[in-house]
């Protein structure tokens, strides 16, 4: 499974990129608003740090507007993935952009039927929002399983990019189902490292090593 980080915080991206575990980045208008910086400046900085796909979302909701904005976004760097909403004009833009060789991330997916349409439109990535599904009493992971089955049935190349991740078990369950990518908030990604037995074991090892009076230098 690929790990993308879901943020526009360039300091957090640099920190996580240094682990060697980061395969890409997703941004959206809400994340950019929180960053409080120029959108294109943020994108350029992220693309310089992360060689993998960096999703940048269009603000337009009409076909022509999406194409105009996508043209400008694609000039930022070769690893920009254009993010479009799962609406009719969004899928029309997806088809045109993928035909032109662009990476496209179709976002705000909440049903397997929508995911099927995005794959037929040639999407590079489909972004089902599992946390928001859970928020309204639905099973976000069941959606991922349905999409995985449909894509495998018809050998679609579209990658399932699990979004709206709220906790580490979302990541684990998505991996068990066979999702291609998880885009994870920085604080959730850091929690994947943690386990109380790891911390306890390390404390014991260090204490025992100290008793030997030796050093490794």
Assess if residue 198 is contained within a domain.
yes
pLDDT band at 25 (very low <50, low <70, confident <90, very high): very high
Is residue 217 predicted with pLDDT exceeding 90?
no
Assess if residue 71 is contained within a domain.
yes
Assess if residue 172 is contained within a domain.
yes
Assess if residue 217 is contained within a domain.
no
Q: What percent of the chain has pLDDT over 90?
A: 93
Q: Of 164, 160, 165, which is closest to residue 148 (Cα–Cα)?
A: 160
Catalytic residue among 83, 120, 210, 211: 83
**pLDDT tens-digit map of 164-212:** 999 999 999 999 999 999 999 999 999 999 999 999 999 999 999 999 9
Q: What is the pLDDT of residue 97?
A: 98
Assess if residue 26 is contained within a domain.
yes
> How many domains are contained in the chain?
1
Q: Which residues lie below 8 Å from residue 209, measured CB to CB, with a gap of 6+?
A: none
Assess if residue 97 is contained within a domain.
yes
**pLDDT tens-digit map of 102-112:** 999 999 999 99
Q: What is the pLDDT of residue 16?
A: 95
> DSSP H helical segments within 81-182, as ranges?
88-99, 112-120, 130-135, 140-154, 168-177
Could you tell me the CATH number of the domain that includes residue 68? 3.20.20.70
Contact predicate 79/55, CB 8 Å: no
Q: What percent of the chain has pLDDT over 70?
A: 100
Q: Which domain holds residue 13?
A: 2-212
Assess if residue 108 is contained within a domain.
yes
Distance CA 156, CA 42 (A): 32
Rg of the chain, C-alpha, whole Å: 20
**pLDDT tens-digit map of 96-144:** 999 999 999 999 999 999 999 999 999 999 999 999 989 999 999 999 9
Assess if residue 105 is contained within a domain.
yes
44 is an active site residue: no
Q: What is the pLDDT of residue 215?
A: 93
């Amino acid at each position: 499974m690929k790990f993308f980080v879901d943020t526009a915080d360039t300091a957090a991206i640099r920190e996580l990129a240094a682990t060697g575990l980061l395969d890409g980045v997703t941004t959206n208008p809400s994340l950019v608003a929180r960053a409080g910086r120029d959108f294109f400046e943020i994108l350029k900085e992220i693309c310089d740090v992360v060689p993998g796909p960096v999703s940048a979302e269009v603000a337009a909701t009409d076909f022509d507007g999406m194409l105009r904005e996508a043209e400008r976004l694609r000039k930022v760097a070769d690893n920009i993935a254009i993010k479009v909403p799962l609406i009719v004009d969004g899928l029309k833009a997806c088809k045109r952009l993928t035909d032109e060789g662009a990476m496209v991330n179709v976002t705000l997916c909440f049903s397997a039927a929508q995911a099927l349409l995005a794959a037929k439109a040639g999407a590079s990535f489909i972004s089902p929002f599992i946390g928001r599904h859970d928020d309204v009493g639905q099973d976000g992971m069941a959606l991922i399983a349905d999409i995985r089955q449909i894509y495998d049935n018809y050998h679609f190349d579209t990658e399932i990019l699990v979004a709206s991740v709220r906790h580490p078990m979302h990541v684990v369950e998505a991996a068990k189902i066979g999702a291609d990518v998880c885009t994870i908030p920085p604080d959730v990604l850091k929690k994947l490292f943690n386990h109380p037995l790891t911390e306890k074991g390390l404390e014991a090892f260090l204490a025992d090593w100290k008793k030997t009076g030796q050093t490794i230098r």
